Amino acid sequence: MSDALHRPDTQSDPVRQRLTTSDGVHIDTAFLRGPGERTTAVVLANGFTGTWRSPLTRMIASVLLTVGDVMTFDFRGHHGSDGRCTVGNEEVHDLEAVVAHLRDSGYTEIATVGFSMGAAVAIRHAAMFGGVAAVVAVSGPGQWYYRGSKRMRLLHFGVEQAVGRWFLRVARKVRVTDRQWDPVPPDPVELAPAIAPSPLLIVHGDADSYFPVEHAERVHGAANEPKELWIVPGMGHAERAVRPEIARDIATWLAENTGDGARSD
């Protein structure tokens, strides 16, 4: 683990840190602290090829500063992080490294917010490790290896073929492993029941071109209470589709389900 968190000069000036996962991968993180001393933190987990450097991710992070301090990071194999991306399998160790670091830094309420691949990782993490205050899964899959949409067939080509991995490395700064998953972890639908008693919010757009709304409905149906499902009219996929008003709605839900908001129920 790295040294304790330091306060940035401004909210728009993230503090950069490198954390080490339990399997020895160094990941690149960026931390934003809001006003005052806080005990609540929110972790943002991007989708495949996403990065904390994205203006959209930074917009979402700035909105969520109303709930708690925010840490964003690049998954393994992405941009400034080491290792190779496994598209949702070993990335659970990346998220746990961030959550454990925040816990060690004094945060007592830590919520995770994941997008697409990051949504699946957030569900896996909560089910495997527990201890998070709340989970928000945006545009996530209900099953692994889904190929039912044109976008997902293209994504599979990108990660399974050498030419696709070359393109991702050169054009998107993402290094993808050529190893198969062994063993294959349980699907998000199978893991969803284990998230409780932490509250789960599932957000999905009815115009998602990667995963149809049935994925969100299946995860929600499998999860135990407390849980909510928002199907957003006209919303597309993941961070690119999260408008400021959706981010504010997520922030409101998090405020009501973490810290003093959860204790007042």
Q: What is the domain partition of the chain in residue ranges? A: 15-145+186-258
Average pLDDT over residues 221-230: 98
End-to-end CA distance of the chain: 35
- Comparing 5-9, 125-129, 146-150, the range with the smallest average pLDDT is 5-9
- Cα-flanking dihedrals φ and ψ of residue 100, to 5°? -65, -40
**What does the pLDDT read at residue 10?**
41
- Cα-flanking dihedrals φ and ψ of residue 229, to 5°? -130, 120
pLDDT confidence bin for 264, thresholds 50/70/90: low
**What does the pLDDT read at residue 7?**
41
Tokens of 75: 């998954």
User: At residue 213, does pLDDT exceed 70?
Assistant: yes
- Cα-flanking dihedrals φ and ψ of residue 26, to 5°? -90, 125
User: At residue 4, does pLDDT exceed 60?
Assistant: no
- Cα torsion 101, 104, 109, 114 to 10°: value is 10
**What does the pLDDT read at residue 2?**
38
pLDDT in tens, 111-130: 999 999 999 999 999 999 99
What CATH architecture does domain 15-145+186-258 belong to? 3-Layer(aba) Sandwich (3.40)
CA gap 89, 117 in Å, rounded: 10
User: At residue 226, does pLDDT exceed 80?
Assistant: yes
Contact assessment for residue 29 and residue 5, using Cβ atoms and an 8 Å cutoff: no
Write out the H or E segment, with its range, that includes residue 228. strand 227-232
pLDDT confidence bin for 93, thresholds 50/70/90: very high
CA gap 43, 21 in Å, rounded: 15
**What does the pLDDT read at residue 5?**
43
